[in-house]
Amino acid sequence: MSKTERRLAAGLVVVLISVPDLS
């Protein structure tokens, strides 16, 4: 994968993990 794709994938994972914790 390109660097951009890896950054986007990592960002999605962080969001999915963080949102339930904030709710």
CA distances to 17, 20 from 9, in Å:
12, 18
* Average pLDDT for 7-23: 88
**Does the pTM of the predicted model rise above 0.75?**
no
Mean pLDDT of the region 4-22: 90
Whole-number Å distance between alpha carbons of 1 and 13: 16
Q: Is the predicted pLDDT of residue 21 greater than 70, yes or no?
A: yes
Sequence-distant (≥ 6) Cβ neighbours of residue 9 within 8 angstroms? 1
Q: Is 2 helix (H, G, I), strand (E, B) or coil?
A: coil
What are 7's two structure tokens? Answer: 């950054």
